[in-house]
A and B are shown apart, each in its own frame.
Chain A
């Protein structure tokens, strides 16, 4: 049970304005992911929520109670560190039970809670070992177990999977989501990996240079990026962004003459843009097709065969690179001249200020 509300929350270091006024409301039981490039302030924001870092401006409340000045151990939030931060001289059981011991919980009760959490995380066999004698995945689970045992209102994770190998990371990803459903608690998860964000989050918060760029469900962010930054950040491979000038519009369509290319049509309900405006058209690689006589031309620079799909990197006349997701039967080879066409109903239009020009209604789920 934890509803967290941030109102114009700020963090100023002596020389650096790290968090520049963030408004955010996180619902009970929600799985929220903070994502953004390195240095954007994800860790700082999480640590402010945890209480490990002072909040220098704005208000933060937990379940309606102002929490700016509540010490970290009294906030009812548990944190899992990127380095796990296990106590090396304690056994797994002692590590997991430490917070309860500090809270003067009776020994039997600690033992029962630790055993319960250990069973949940398949750690029962290693309870007597020191962290040193554990695998990376086990250490990770001990760190999570240490948080679970406290029975917190919310969990805070700071890139907890970045030290694991790829297979284990995928496995832990699903386990964490399951855990969220099972424990019915709020979880905030920090990552710079947008795939982790997309796969785990109920809601994603995209941070950039200390501000929130967009908050939304993974598919909202994918289909309706609010601005060029989110468009470029969410989705892999990256969205293609080409500039051009609006030549015509009606209630359902906007026609754009792209620089160094022909005209493309972006479909959308009553897009508010006047002919002559400079715009950017966003086209995802998976929504762009190699066709004969398409409006966008270029030379296939590089072809990547991944088996289930083929990525074609096209060099445009102006030197820009575009990526198209084709199937393996496309038969494109390096050096071939190709033309491409975007799907008009999936393209996104951004105005001169970099903000999206339309909010498309999608029927999700």
Chain B
């Protein structure tokens, strides 16, 4: 009964919305939806359940303890540090991806010999797995003794920096940026190639050159793909883990402990499944709130 009503509602909406065909889509969607529910909702429910228990792997059994896990979570200063770290990481990498991604895409969109190889190389870091990327950076590039950066600095007569202890967050941001700038480049380059050549020529006739052309024609065209980059990268970066685990282990101190990493510490260092679950639920809520805003912004952009 309920289903019947829902279906008619959908179809009238569709009809009034865009005069499209009238198809009962529910049976077609159902298998996928059920699978998705099993896949994501069950673990979620389980996590929520654990988050209300005092459940430590070292001291079983688990007992219900009301909202205690949440109270500890919100009164613990390290939670707020972790949130701050997450925000810094996401915003830092986003800023780098958009700025450098746009610049590189603009460069690669020009015609020059060897363009295809340059494109391939520019995109390549994205296909390197995070732990591998992290190891390359840690041992071959940023290492003060054997790293390339250190060598350069000695060449210039400077003291090599121990990156992961002096600027741990910056180092992590750099490594993640190295991986995600290519992603932004890829999307923005595709977008640039879809920019209507007639529009560019019209702009040429209208006298828009160089920066004016960039500002009034090209960047507005890139707004939509940029918002897509923001959305996708935020979602991935919020759950970023591998690089931190491989390089800094969340340290020194809590300097690079993001919310994701905090959950990991609680669960697998402290074996406190209950409080890890509470932090996990909180992270889910945060991510969803963020996703809601982002998706709304993006879809507004898509309509415009």
Contact flags A75-117 to B (C-beta < 8 A → 1, else 0): 0011101111111111000000011001100000000000000
Given contacts A87-B217, A89-B304, A102-B212, contact A81 B207 (CB under 8 A): no
Contact B206–A102 (Cβ < 8 Å): yes
Contact B199–A73 (Cβ < 8 Å): no
Q: What are some 5 contacts across the A-B interface (CB < 8 A)? A: A51-B205, A87-B216, A89-B221, A99-B207, A146-B202
The B interface is mostly helix, strand or loop, or mixed, namely helix
Return chain B residues, CB-CB under 8 Å to A344.
none
Contact A89–B204 (Cβ < 8 Å): no
Report Cα–Cα, A83/B304, bound state, in Å.
20
Question: On chain A, which size bracket covers the interface?
Answer: 20 to 34
Which of B196, B199, B201, B217 is the one whose CB lies under 8 Å from A52?
Answer: B201
Report Cα–Cα, A52/B196, bound state, in Å.
15
Report Cα–Cα, A293/B207, bound state, in Å.
67
Contact flags A294-309 to B (C-beta < 8 A → 1, else 0): 0000000000000000
Contact B206–A89 (Cβ < 8 Å): no
Given contacts A98-B216, A130-B304, contact A85 B206 (CB under 8 A): no
Report Cα–Cα, A98/B216, bound state, in Å.
9
Report Cα–Cα, A217/B221, bound state, in Å.
44
Tell me, yes or no, whether A72 is within 8 Å of chain B by CB: yes
Contact A85–B201 (Cβ < 8 Å): yes
Tell me, yes or no, whether A264 is within 8 Å of chain B by CB: no
Contact flags B208-251 to A (C-beta < 8 A → 1, else 0): 11001000110011010000000000000000000000000000
Report Cα–Cα, A72/B205, bound state, in Å.
5
Report Cα–Cα, A222/B177, bound state, in Å.
68
Report Cα–Cα, A51/B204, bound state, in Å.
10
Report Cα–Cα, A245/B55, bound state, in Å.
109
Question: On chain B, which size bracket covers the interface?
Answer: 10 to 19
A75 to B, closest residue via Cβ: B205
Which of A52, A87, A90 is the one whose CB lies under 8 Å from B204?
Answer: A52
Question: Nearest Cβ in chain B — how far from A148, in angstroms?
Answer: 13
Question: Nearest Cβ in chain B — how far from A47, in angstroms?
Answer: 8
Tell me, yes or no, whether A201 is within 8 Å of chain B by CB: no
Return chain A residues, CB-CB under 8 Å to B202.
79, 81, 85-87, 146
Q: Which of B205, B209, B220 has the most CB of A within 10 A?
A: B205
Which of A51, A83, A102, A150 is the one whose CB lies under 8 Å from B196?
Answer: A83
Return chain A residues, CB-CB under 8 Å to B199.
85-87
Given contacts A85-B196, A85-B198, A87-B199, contact A73 B204 (CB under 8 A): yes
Report Cα–Cα, A51/B207, bound state, in Å.
12
Report Cα–Cα, A37/B206, bound state, in Å.
30
A130 to B, closest residue via Cβ: B304
Question: Nearest Cβ in chain A — how far from B273, in angstroms?
Answer: 50
Report Cα–Cα, A45/B205, bound state, in Å.
16
Contact B208–A98 (Cβ < 8 Å): yes
Contact B207–A83 (Cβ < 8 Å): no
Contact B207–A73 (Cβ < 8 Å): yes
Given contacts A83-B196, A83-B198, contact A89 B207 (CB under 8 A): no
Which of B196, B205, B223 is the one whose CB lies under 8 Å from A73?
Answer: B205
B219 to A, closest residue via Cβ: A89
Tell me, yes or no, whether A40 is within 8 Å of chain B by CB: no
Report Cα–Cα, A79/B223, bound state, in Å.
27
Contact B201–A81 (Cβ < 8 Å): yes
Return chain B residues, CB-CB under 8 Å to A85.
196, 198-199, 201-202
Report Cα–Cα, A99/B205, bound state, in Å.
8
Report Cα–Cα, A79/B217, bound state, in Å.
18
A158 to B, closest residue via Cβ: B198
Return chain B residues, CB-CB under 8 Å to A290.
none
Report Cα–Cα, A315/B173, bound state, in Å.
80
Which of B205, B207, B208, B221 is the one whose CB lies under 8 Å from A79?
Answer: B205
Q: Which of A50, A51, A72 has the most CB of B within 10 A?
A: A72
B residues 171-206 touching A (CB-CB < 8 Å):
196, 198-199, 201-206
Return chain B residues, CB-CB under 8 Å to A86.
199, 202
Return chain B residues, CB-CB under 8 Å to A78.
205
B residues 272-288 touching A (CB-CB < 8 Å):
none
6 closest A-B pairs (Cβ-Cβ)? A73-B207, A85-B198, A99-B206, A89-B220, A85-B202, A102-B207
